[in-house]
Amino acid sequence: MDLAGQKAYYDERWAREGGANVFEARRAEAIFERIARAGLVRPRILDLGCGRGWLAGALSALGPTAAIDLADLAAARARWPAVEFVTADLFQHPLPEAAFDLVVSQEVIEHVEDQAGYLDVAARCLKPGGLLVLTTPNGWVQARRTRRELEAWGLQPVERWLSRRALRQLLRLRFEVLETTTLIPGAGSRRSLLFWNSKKVRGLFGAIGLGGAFDRLRCKLGMGLHLIALARRR
């Protein structure tokens, strides 16, 4: 699908969808946790591919926030006037260089054909030593979901899922990788995940007070539905 078709798709989708769903909320929690650990004080923030704009609105409580997306952002501008929203192709729009302390990218890189170029844009926008927090579907788990599961999840015009290893390799071209892990275990029904995603097994660990530890182990082993990365611009 060409760029005009993608814009039409996202204009319609974001106009139809409401607030954050449970997966978005859990990813946002993980993003804010990493921002808090970094100890940033009133950072200048860029939401690179902001979708409906709700995350940019939340981020603006931390510091001056700009956000860019291909889709129409009129509704987001009205709802979150403190955010500087820009509707444009991020590869073509002249974003300010070395201007931001923090770039946030939630579920964007998998929908971009030029993934290395996307990370180049993020790096150029960051000040030296600035931080990138990025989430994306876990390609290893996506490969272990059925077609029916993927269609119910909602496929978009471009889907280029990355494994944790592939994401780290891309990031290392421009960044020092501080962390890559996974979030939200439980997805996938192929044979290699049957034991780990069994509700009975999870229930047994929960019954002895180790349900949280079991979930953290699954995420550490790379079984979460989403990847999250924290990286610093060199």
Q: How close are the terminal C-alpha atoms of the chain, in Å?
A: 34
Least confident segment among 12-21, 189-198, 213-222, 225-234: 12-21
- CA within 13 Å, CB half, 79: 13
Determine the structural domain holding residue 168 and report its residue range.
3-186+222-233
Give me 84's structure tokens: 């500087």
Is 23 inside any structural domain?
A: yes
Task: Name the average pLDDT for the chain.
Answer: 94
Query: Is 200 domain-assigned?
Result: no
Q: How far apart are CA 30 and CA 24, in angstroms?
A: 10
For residue 16, how many other CB atoms are within 10 A of its CB?
Answer: 7
Residue 31's Cα: distance from chain center in Å? 9
Residue 76 lies in a domain: yes
The answer to whether residue 24 sits within a structural domain is yes
Give the model's confidence band at 91: pLDDT under 50 very low, under 70 low, under 90 confident, else very high.
very high
**What percent of the chain is predicted at pLDDT more than 70?**
99
Q: Does the pLDDT of residue 110 top 90, yes or no?
A: yes
| For range 205-229, the mean pLDDT | 96
**152-166: per-residue pLDDT in tens?**
888 899 999 999 999
Domain contains 110: yes
What is this structure's pTM? 0.94
Q: Is residue 205 part of a domain?
A: no
The CATH number of the domain where 171 resides is what? 3.40.50.150
pLDDT above 70 (res 149): yes
What's the total number of domains in the chain?
Answer: 1
32 part of a folded domain = yes
Token pair belonging to 140 = 């290893």
Evaluate whether residue 142 is within a structural domain. yes
Six-digit token string for 131: 């931080």
pLDDT over 90 at 18, yes or no: no
Q: What is the pLDDT of residue 16?
A: 80
DSSP 192: G
Task: Provide the pLDDT confidence category of residue 10 given band limits of 50, 70 and 90.
Answer: confident
Cα–Cα nearest to 31, from 192, 183, 194, 196? 183
Higher-scoring residue by pLDDT: 169, 151: 169
What value does the mean pLDDT take over residues 124-136? 98
